[in-house]
Structure 1
Amino acid sequence: MTAQAKSKEAAGVTGKLPQENGAIRECNGKICIHIDGYWIRYYPPPPNTMAEKKDLIFSLRRRVFHHTEEGINSPGWRLEIARKYYEEEQNPARKRVKAAMLAGSLFNRATDIFASVVELEEKGIQVDENNQLMKQCEACFMEALELGKQVRHFSGEEGVDELWGEPFKAFSYPMDKFFESRYVKLAQTFAAIDRIIDRMISVYSNVDGFEGVLPMLDELREAAKTEVETMRRDEAIYEVWPRYVAAKEAIVEFKPCGLINREDRIRYWEDGMRLLHMGKDVIGYLSGVRVPMPVTTANYMANCDLYEQNGSLDSEFSIPKHCFKNGSGVSCN
């Protein structure tokens, strides 16, 4: 049975239900929307008001900074200082980090402005889209979006452009259109989780002593997808989050059993454990950001291929050949 077939079966979906995107039905006790072969927990979009947009943008801001690299949550009131240091920096590596810090300041300045506009509206002062404040807010979001290409996920493996762009979408789109775009990203995240778990099961089905981890991986698959689709404000989170954490902890605590005492196989089994934990981490990254991470996913798939082909992984801190002296005793560049 394919991963998507398992997902539909787990959701309680029958063949009688329509399969077109956007179909909404009750599936296994929850209301779901069908997107690209997946049934995803559905939440009606909130009213398209400035106050609701503000709450959404602030929620997205917290999530963005939680899942990105450290030190870039620079306050909006320091925007000019952040820009000065960014523009003066010549070192490429440091300039990237300063670009991320400037993006953080722009992001926070935009949300500060938007919050002020909402406060004015609550006092009966209408601010239209052509107002200078709204134009400045949009400009900050736009520049933050462009600089956000320099921002990395906290794992350091890749950028998080799609995650960084969500607050600007919330600012620009009507609420219903924003939520429609989110369901597409959730379906893509589901697909990435399925792809990784399927690959892990394929690998560990052929590794002696790891048979016991296979049902744990299926549980991690379903627990992760349920966590991805569930909003924090939903009471269901009190069941969803503990299940997800327990599924990850089961992987951490797993130890292979029934191994033959062969010294030449120790590296094979140790790297099998390492690859298993790496996969658990990638699932955790995807569950957190709730958008695809193609570079991280591709890197993990490459490690799975390497393990199957060689029975081991390259050393995490492997030293390239050019670091060693050549035959004449001269080090190479």
Structure 2
Amino acid sequence: MDGQAAPINHPERTMDNTVPEGTRRIIDGRERVFYSDYWVKTYTVPEDTLQAKRKLIGALTRRLFNHVEHGLNIPGSRLNEARKSYEDETDPERRRVKGAMLAGALFNRAADIFTKLVELQSVGIEIQSDNALMRECGRCLQEALGLGRLVLHRSGEEGIDELWGEPFKAFSIPLEDFYESRYVKIALTLRDIDRIAGAIAANFGPLPCFAGLGPHVQAFACAAKTKTETLRTDPDIFDVWTSFVTAGERLCAHFNAAAMPEGLEDQHLVADGRQLLQRGRDLISDITRARTPMPKSAQEYIERCEAYSARCARAETRA
């Protein structure tokens, strides 16, 4: 394999170069939009108001803090302290963490400003786009975006720059355009899930202890992709989330104990495989919950699967 594992088929995947990007169709009674070979579920765009943007930015900020490393949710009221601590720090490792904390404070300061602007608007005070507080809000979000490169995903493997850019994007462009940009990213997320699932199926399926794994991989990939395109406010979320969790549990529980080799070295090799399989489940879960591609982690995991398959082949040759 060359790292581009064959994707598991998804019910909404269409390998058709004749379909223009952004095409919308009703599929099984639900509108979907076509990007990167996937038909992604769409949602109604709210009216483009300050109130709607405040709610969206608040939700995006909570989502951001939920997926990045711990300790970054610094109140906006402590922005000056966070900035001074960052600027005074000279150790590179500590400076990275303090820069991430400063980014968190900037996001919360922007959310605080937006909340006050919405309160003013609710009592009849008209807020223009060139309002000084609007400009300050945009500046905070833009600075936080610049610091986002210092922040790691909660797994510690890589950053997710897209999460840091979304609140600023939601602030600076029409909501309709923001939703469309999310559909593009969701399609790319579905592609990452397929690539990882394809690597698991291709490299673990032929191994005796993991024989029969394929259907569990496919079920988990399909559940993960459905979860990726489903908002938490969707009525289907209860069944969607349950299916996703249980499919992941079945994937990691699948093991042919009768095929366990007798040699201690080979048993350790099998144990390594079970850990690698669980890491694949966890990586797909991270990508699914963040609803954002993690290309570095995906590629590294695919390469680890290929390396593990090669180790197993060498062990079989020795036997």
For residues 53-72 of structure 1, the C-alpha deviation after alignment (integer angstroms, 9 at most, x for no partner) is 11111111110000000001
Amino acid in the other structure paired with 2:73: N
The whole-number CA distance in structure 2 between the counterparts of 1:243 and 1:307 is 29
Q: Does 1:238 align with 2:249?
A: no
Q: Does 298-307 or 179-188 show the bigger shift?
A: 298-307
The whole-number CA distance in structure 2 between the counterparts of 1:85 and 1:167 is 24
Deviation at 1:259, TM superposition (A): 0.8
Paired position in structure 2 for 1:331: none
Q: Does 1:65 align with 2:38?
A: no
Matching of residues 1-333 of structure 1 within 5 Å: 3=7, 6-7=9-10, 10-11=11-12, 19-263=19-263, 264-311=265-312
Aligned-CA RMSD value: 1.9
Whether the 8 Å CA contact 1:69–1:151 is kept in 2: the answer is yes
The whole-number CA distance in structure 2 between the counterparts of 1:36 and 1:299 is 22
Whether the 8 Å CA contact 1:13–1:27 is kept in 2: the answer is no
Whether the 8 Å CA contact 1:69–1:152 is kept in 2: the answer is yes
Deviation at 1:256, TM superposition (A): 2.5
The whole-number CA distance in structure 2 between the counterparts of 1:221 and 1:261 is 29
The whole-number CA distance in structure 1 between the counterparts of 2:12 and 2:289 is 22
Paired position in structure 2 for 1:319: none
SS in 1 for 2:259: coil
Whether the 8 Å CA contact 1:213–1:251 is kept in 2: the answer is yes
The whole-number CA distance in structure 2 between the counterparts of 1:298 and 1:62 is 28
Amino acid in the other structure paired with 1:44: T
The whole-number CA distance in structure 2 between the counterparts of 1:129 and 1:25 is 35
Whether the 8 Å CA contact 2:86–2:99 is kept in 1: the answer is yes
Identical-pair percentage: 41
Paired position in structure 1 for 2:316: none
Q: How has the CA–CA distance of structure 1 residues 67 and 14 changed in structure 2, closer, same or farther, with 3 Å as cutoff?
A: closer
Unpaired segments ≥5 residues, structure 2: 1-5, 314-319
Paired position in structure 1 for 2:317: none
SS in 1 for 2:257: coil
The whole-number CA distance in structure 2 between the counterparts of 1:211 and 1:261 is 14
SS in 2 for 1:87: helix
Whether the 8 Å CA contact 2:107–2:140 is kept in 1: the answer is yes
The whole-number CA distance in structure 1 between the counterparts of 2:306 and 2:225 is 25
SS in 2 for 1:162: helix
The whole-number CA distance in structure 2 between the counterparts of 1:255 and 1:14 is 33
SS in 1 for 2:96: helix
For residues 30-54 of structure 1, the C-alpha deviation after alignment (integer angstroms, 9 at most, x for no partner) is 3211112101111121111111111
For residues 150-209 of structure 1, the C-alpha deviation after alignment (integer angstroms, 9 at most, x for no partner) is 011001111111111111110011011001100110010011001010111100122112
Which runs of at least 4 in structure 1 moved beyond 3 Å after TM superposition? 11-15
Amino acid in the other structure paired with 1:101: M
Q: How has the CA–CA distance of structure 1 residues 258 and 122 changed in structure 2, closer, same or farther, with 3 Å as cutoff?
A: same
For residues 198-239 of structure 1, the C-alpha deviation after alignment (integer angstroms, 9 at most, x for no partner) is 111100122112123211100011000000000111101121
Q: How has the CA–CA distance of structure 1 residues 260 and 296 changed in structure 2, closer, same or farther, with 3 Å as cutoff?
A: closer
The whole-number CA distance in structure 2 between the counterparts of 1:205 and 1:253 is 14
TM-score under structure 2 length normalisation: 0.92
The whole-number CA distance in structure 2 between the counterparts of 1:3 and 1:260 is 29
The whole-number CA distance in structure 1 between the counterparts of 2:172 and 2:125 is 21
Q: Which has the higher relative contact order, 1 or 2, with Cα contacts under 8 A spaced 6 or more apart?
A: 2
Q: How has the CA–CA distance of structure 1 residues 131 and 12 changed in structure 2, closer, same or farther, with 3 Å as cutoff?
A: closer
Whether the 8 Å CA contact 1:12–1:27 is kept in 2: the answer is no
Amino acid in the other structure paired with 2:300: N
Deviation at 1:295, TM superposition (A): 1.5
The whole-number CA distance in structure 1 between the counterparts of 2:226 and 2:258 is 33
Deviation at 1:270, TM superposition (A): 1.1
Whether the 8 Å CA contact 1:106–1:143 is kept in 2: the answer is yes
Q: How has the CA–CA distance of structure 1 residues 238 and 125 changed in structure 2, closer, same or farther, with 3 Å as cutoff?
A: same
The whole-number CA distance in structure 2 between the counterparts of 1:236 and 1:24 is 21
Unpaired segments ≥5 residues, structure 1: 313-333
* Aligned residues between the structures: 307
Deviation at 1:19, TM superposition (A): 2.2
SS in 2 for 1:25: strand
The whole-number CA distance in structure 2 between the counterparts of 1:311 and 1:273 is 13
Paired position in structure 2 for 1:328: none
For residues 17-39 of structure 1, the C-alpha deviation after alignment (integer angstroms, 9 at most, x for no partner) is x7222222222343211112101
Whether the 8 Å CA contact 2:260–2:267 is kept in 1: the answer is no
Deviation at 1:146, TM superposition (A): 0.5
Amino acid in the other structure paired with 1:40: V
